[in-house]
Chains A and B, each alone.
Chain A
Amino acid sequence: MTLETVGFAGVAVVLLAASLGVVLTPNLFHSVLWLAAALVATGGVFLLLDAPFLFGVQLLLYAGGVVTIVVFAIMLTERLAGRTIRQASRYLVNGAVLSAAVFIGVAGFLVQAPAVTGRPALAGDLTVAVGRALVGPFALVLELLGVLLVIALLGALYFARSEP
């Protein structure tokens, strides 16, 4: 048992448990808290895959940003409704069968695929390479991403404006 195996097992258990919590808790607010745990666990997977920069991005943007926005939206709709929103689920059996089928399909393909065990050695600091690639070959995509974020901001502002 190497350290990576132990770490992977721990992170996998936390990630799967938190994901189940997200889709099974009746209270929507608890669901978001489980999502935060799942996102942090995903960051742990990134750490295991030697991508500490992505771990930071995951914590800042996902676990920080997305969770805050969702909590904000829930509190806003609850305040407007004046009651706690319970969320019942429906089609439980159909959903379980379909998602199990998807998982079995993918897992069956993975079992047949040739096993890849070795990972190539890291050539220097990955974060530096990511930074160079972002302003090098991917510079145009980065600019487009900035445009997209501005458009999303304008769109959210348009939706949130007060009625004339």
Chain B
Amino acid sequence: MRMAELRVTGRVASGGFAAGPVALFSTETGARAPHGVGEPATEAQALRNAIAAALKQLKNLAANAGSDGADILAFQIAMLEDETLSETAFASIGTGVTADCAWRTALDAEIGGYESVEDVHFKARASDLRDIRDRVAGILSGTTTDPGLPTGAIFVGEDLTPSRFLSMDWSGGGGIALTQGSASGHVATLARARGVPMIVGLDLDLGGIARRAEALVDGGSATLTIDPETATREDFAARARAAMKSRSSTDEFRTRPAFTADGTPIALYINIADPAEVETLDPRICDGIGLVRTEFLFGGKRGLPDEETQYQAYRRLAEWAAGKQVTIRTLDAGADKPIAGLTLDHEANPFLGIRGIRLSLAKPEIFRTQLRALCRAAAHGAVEIMVPMVALPRELELARGHLEEALSGLRAAGLPCRRPELGIMVEVPAAAIMVETFDAAFFSIGSNDLTQYVMAAARDSDAVAELNDPGHPAVLRLIAQVVAHGAKVGRKVSLCGDAGGEPKFIGALLGAGLRALSVSPAALGSAKEAIARVNIGGPG
């Protein structure tokens, strides 16, 4: 007789849907070493050999694991290479304990130290240590053969270790359902990166499902269904199809160049607030970086970053972009981005106060350091400098003066450098209105500030949210004017505000003549999709 449907709810560690045969895995650590206690020297040698063999396995695994997996395994490798980890084990071996027992006892003590912490991120590291423990113990007892996961199966068990996850082939689908596990552990990170649905913390009697056949993992509702009824299965399939459809169409757009419905190419750049953001991104998904916010370097209590620190950070971005444009905005502190000890504390209206280029010109030594770092980074790629909050042509010319001084200083010191293009953010209405008076290499429209200044409606006030509308004709007319000026004098014009990533504004922005947008990496797919629906019509 068929068993009744069983539904259990846990916590989502990785979204998505998977249906497949149940593959029940026990995390019982299995048979103890079959041999008796050998001589301490023999046992110690056995443990040393097992650790060396485990390291070799981990390094092989890391070589084929992809960068996220390799990072996780690098942590395990570093832990295992550290003699501190095994020193208590070797000490007990000296007192006549078997290698297996000494190793497990030493590692269990270490694991306990992580399990008892409050911080979920440290707690989650217990899983890495169990992974290390079981790998070495398995080698010691000669029971290392890992039963693989059948393609497309649902892994059901207490927990899953990172190295075991990485040794399984998820390319054919499959899912994970754990009675323990963690949404902040390494396996959860890996599962999310590979699109493997995963639910943790399920209140499930593993012994009771030994004879069950089929499972559905629903990463939307955090539900595991075992041996589903027909109606449940149909409902699940419909939900999975709907989710798949909306995701795959966005993914498809994300990786291809942006074109409007009538075939006009649109350059699409990304906005970056921290160099770490690009590490997981493929440069091919965009035409470059349209805005690097450099405030990340200046945050925190550690004081101002020196030239070398900034140079290294900018250089990483230039190298990532591999020849594509990287537009780096000089420090835009002040207003909603105060920096202790640098910005003024008691301005009545900081959005109209000393911010952006105004602050940089008031603190020339800080500005000069940043410009030097940028000129050095420009030797490694297509770095451009963008100055924020420019209202007057004089501000741009003063910035250019500092840039020239930075360059001559670097050349005198014999440091490799290159003069980056110098452009401005167009966000002060005066600059938009008088755009033809600025000798900038490029213009990048900061639609967030431009909108709030044109509409006199704060970005952060719900009460005037309706007025704060980047699609208002007053804003669009200014944008169109900047675009027209750029076309006339042959200077690049783009937009790097949030509006560029919002599908509902994209038609209006392209209508104003923009052909280059810079958006957050997460908005790339939906922006390209929205662009593909726009019919620009007529020439230009």
Co-complex (A, B): no
Identify the B interface with A (CB < 8 A).
none
Identify the A interface with B (CB < 8 A).
none
